Amino acid sequence: MAWDDIPDWSSTVADALLQTVKMKDPFTFYHCCRVGRAARRLAQAAGLNEYDQHRLEFSGLFHDVGKVGIPDNILLKPGSLTSQEFETMKSHALKSAEIIEPLNHIAFFKSLLPGIRSHHERIDGRGYPYNLEGDKIPLTARIITIVDTVDAMMHTRPYRKGLSFDIVKQELQEFSGSQFDAQLVKIYLDAIRFWKADQEADKEEMVIGQILKKSA
């Protein structure tokens, strides 16, 4: 498949869905924007073609939209979740896929679903929702897992201060091969230094239509 297989109205769909997320939880909105951008960068660094890079960007943008279906007292809780609350929170991956599924008659949107559903799977099989392991986890999901985790760790929440990149790097290295795809971690850490200028230019007020605009 090629870039021309992505419907012209895809960015409009992304904008509409993410504005709904923004009304529910601005943090999740900005997180999805950053993860979409970072997933595309990592896909490029991993040697994926332009179509797959855009597929990773959309998958990253949509990976947490299911959080609109999580009750506010859980999603916005300023403290640790109980085990029961955590089980509810874990449902967001499948909820995100369910929101996109009405578009699965469009090949491009159907191709996003594996990465969205499985972005909390772990290489060692201890993730969710399907306990997949190793190469059974879709490549798109393995890419999103890394950039999603990095972004979550580095940004401050009411219950936890954001971590420095040095600490995040240690976490990636420590859990490489268990939580994260080891080869993708290496690619990420080798490539991240080249992204810093672009990351400085990224603004929290970024417009989804600008993120997803076609290359000239």
Secondary structure percentages of the chain, helix, strand, coil, to 5: 65, 0, 30
Give me the count of residues in the chain.
216
Distant-in-sequence, close-in-space partners of 179: CB < 8 Å, separation ≥ 6: 122, 123, 124, 127, 145, 149
Give catalytic residues, as residue numbers. Answer: 67
How large is the C-alpha radius of gyration of the chain? Answer: 16
Q: Which of 44, 200, 197, 183 is nearest to 123 (CA)?
A: 183
* Side chain identity at residue 7, one-letter code: P
Residues 137 and 163 sit within 8 Å (Cβ to Cβ): no
d(CA 5, CA 131): 32
d(CA 67, CA 91): 9
Q: Which of 216, 57, 210 is nearest to 147 (CA)?
A: 57
> Token digits for 33?
């924007």
